[in-house]
Amino acid sequence: FAETFEVLIRLAENYTSTLFCNAYRTMAAEATVHVQEFFTDVGLFLLGTDASPEELVNRFFDTLFPVVYNHVINPGPTDISLEYAECLRVSSRDIRPFGSIPKKAIGQMGRSLIPSRTFLQALNLGIEVINTTDHLHFSRACSRALLRMQYCPHCQGLTLSKPCMGYCLNTLRGCLADIAEVDLHWRGFIHSLEQLSGALSGAHSIEHVLLNFHSLVHDAVEQARIKGPELSEQVNKICGPPVRKPKQSPGCSFDQNKDYQGLKMFSKDSEETFANRRKEFISQLRLHRAFYGGLVDQLCGNELAAADGLPCWNGEDVVR
């Protein structure tokens, strides 16, 4: 799933960068740098970095404001100076050039990124549990009991006789008692994943939020454009008149046709693709809900014990 989220983030970044190249080409080169930084932060957040969705979103719109001011609100033959751009960035939350859009984005990101990060952390915890139980060390008493069950008949020339079902169950229950204790926690783990998966569906799903982030960005830039004269007045009061330098902003340098590995397979109906992958995973996990609790029965019933009606070894002799 970490790889799936990585592809999703890159696709959402692609959508947002493409928005600037198509609709706001003059500021695309500067804006895409901040887009890349934002989605890098999103990826790091999902991996567990100490940040909040509010910080990520605010930082993005704060850094976007000087770019929008320079190219949309108050464009000119020259660029604003770095010092003036810094004043705009610092003042962004007081001026509120994008209205309620950042707050809306914070709400959406919080409701999707936090459960998604928890989902990934839970999966990693589950992997640790499975790896731990996959490398058990049996006690000496258990090893002797297994040896007696499997090979004592061989000493009497009864190489084809398997252990009786009851004998097999009793022996393995003693050996796998610690594993059986995992059962309750394993069931609770799967139940928690089911609930998390439910929280990640619909409008709160990470795929829906990230893949539609570019629409919020478009609305934010348009809102700033419409409020341009009013925003210019506010900026002049706080930062003074624009201080400019020779223009250096190149056009769009983002390669919209670049063949990102894995992006094409998700480019159509991407939300459904990610949602279905998650649903399939949860469905498969449900099938193994009773894995630890039923492990002894599976081992004896499928591999170790004799079938009903066949001669079997009861620990002392072959019986029917």
- Tens of pLDDT along 223-259? 999 999 999 999 999 999 887 777 665 666 655 555 4
- Among the residue ranges 88-92, 161-165, 273-277, the one predicted with the least confidence is 273-277
Answer whether 140's CB lies under 8 Å from 276's CB.
Answer: no
Query: Do 39 and 120 lie in a common domain?
Result: yes
Query: Do 108 and 153 lie in a common domain?
Result: no
pTM for this model (two decimals): 0.79
> In the predicted model, is pLDDT for residue 270 greater than 70?
no
User: Average pLDDT, stretch 275-304?
Assistant: 88
- Angle separating helix axes 2-23 and 101-133, nearest 10 degrees: 160
> In the predicted model, is pLDDT for residue 278 greater than 90?
no
Query: Do 147 and 84 lie in a common domain?
Result: no
Kindly state whether residue 183 falls inside one of the protein's structural domains: no
The number of folded domains in the chain is: 2
> In the predicted model, is pLDDT for residue 167 greater than 50?
yes
More confident residue, 139 or 57: 57
* pLDDT band of 272, cuts 50, 70, 90: low
User: Average pLDDT, stretch 2-16?
Assistant: 88
Provide the residue range defining the domain that includes 165.
138-175+273-315
pLDDT given at position 179: 82
Query: Do 156 and 117 lie in a common domain?
Result: no
* pLDDT band of 260, cuts 50, 70, 90: very low
Answer whether 111's CB lies under 8 Å from 205's CB.
Answer: no
> In the predicted model, is pLDDT for residue 262 greater than 50?
no
Query: Do 96 and 15 lie in a common domain?
Result: yes
User: Average pLDDT, stretch 166-173?
Assistant: 93
Kindly state whether residue 194 falls inside one of the protein's structural domains: no
Q: What's the whole-number average pLDDT of the chain?
A: 86
pLDDT given at position 106: 96
Query: Do 223 and 241 lie in a common domain?
Result: yes
